[in-house]
Structure 1
Amino acid sequence: MILCEGRVNISQIRRSSNHDRDLSCMTRFLQESPWNPQYVTKQRLSYLMETIRQTRAKWGDTRPITFLILDDTQCKKERSTVKMEGLDFHYSHSEGKSVWSHSLVTAHVVTDDLSVAWDFRSYFRKEDCKERNVPFKSKNDLAIELLETYSSSPDEHVYVLI
């Protein structure tokens, strides 16, 4: 859904879908449909694991080596963006200062000729978690969660890069 040209927003997704629907239909679909995020994630990860297995079988890989790459990153936003949930000032190592952004911990899998984004977790500060009444998780906690989502086969050699 997010493979579209230019900025990725609901209007652009609507234009890229080649359906002549009102913008409110797209917005309502994304906000109010009975989404089950855990189910969608489980299906997506199962699909990725099957793709990895098929790629290995195609190459006749008998000693599969996988790199599981973990990273934290900031998705920088303009300071004028205030209505989007989860924005805060987070330290950006690449910029050497705090930036107005979403903070994500990401996992990426590389094996053979295949390179895929595995999964991600949003990071929120303790204060933000208290306001939302959700348990706080450090970036390390989130990285461990991501590690646990990758189920390697017994003969696979997995190297974790942080």
Structure 2
Amino acid sequence: EIPEFSFDEDPPLDWSDGVDEELKKKTIPELWSMLGLLEMEGIPGFNRFIDPSGRNPKTDKAWFDCASQEQLEPLQLRWHQLIGLITLLGRVFDGKPLLLMDDVGIGKTIQIVALFATLAFFHDHRLKHGKFPGIFCNKKWAVRTRGSLPDEGALVVVPVGLHKQWYDECNRFLMPGAFHII
């Protein structure tokens, strides 16, 4: 028997496997609230829409300028990706190491790019408001910065065969000019 498959539906997977018991109960709006981003329901610096075929606003600007709403889809993190982002943020705030490993196509790249963009937003938020947003409001950055986030770059190390893919994905997810990607 051949199982049915649809590109329009998420596969029936249990994304809660390995998730903290408290986080398992959270809805998507509750997760956005935990990040202090409920009103935005998006990652600051991220494009709001993407082309499902993979074009990105940096290399295909003319296409995006003319694209209709029907040709685009909202760029939204899924429940398991928001859980991953919150978990990653918690670990980096506590100065703990992290290693993100999962199957191909689960969204590791978008989670890491979202981590960088969220940290940049948190840095600016703390400068403006004196505290981090969401559940991180009483946190201090654990690594030699007097509690604030360092205003530094990030280095992503991937095999040579993935350089172009990472570059393209960063430009697909991030608003043009939001970050300097080299």
Q: Give TM-score, length-normalised by structure 2.
A: 0.22
Q: Which protein has the bigger helix share?
A: 2
Structure with more relative contact order (C-alpha pairs < 8 Å, separation 6 or more): 2
Larger fraction in strand: 1
**Rg comparison, structure with higher value:** 1
The alignment's TM-score, normalised by the length of structure 1, stands at: 0.24
